[in-house]
Amino acid sequence: MTRKNLISTDEFCVHHNIEFSFIRNLCDFGLLQTVMVDKTEFIAESQLEKLERMLRLHRDLDINVEGIDAIDHLLERMRDLQAEIISLKNKLRLYEDE
């Protein structure tokens, strides 16, 4: 992973005016992974959208990290179920065409 695909956690916290402890709590709950490079902690660009979504939940709805964890789990479950529904619909179409 190149450094250009990483965002410094310090930079993210300053830009979004949040405490570093929020990032640390998300990492402790397994909701976010950070990368250490030269004693500096970074967030992968691929995780930025998820992190900003969690930040909005925290700020706008005043949801704590435990609640964010529950919401993330439910959203992941919902995505899995939607994928399963699509798969089952595709299989059903095979039998309907006969």
pTM here is 0.79
The per-residue pLDDT for range 49-82, each reduced to its tens digit, is 999 999 999 999 999 999 999 999 999 999 999 9
* CATH 1.10.1660.10, domain 3-96, yes or no: yes
> Domain residues of the chain, as ranges?
3-96
User: What is the rounded CA–CA span in Å between residue 76 and residue 74?
Assistant: 5
pLDDT band at 96 (very low <50, low <70, confident <90, very high): confident
pLDDT of 5: 85
pLDDT band at 19 (very low <50, low <70, confident <90, very high): very high
Q: Which stretches of the chain are DSSP H helices? A: 9-16, 20-28, 48-60, 65-96
pLDDT of 94: 86
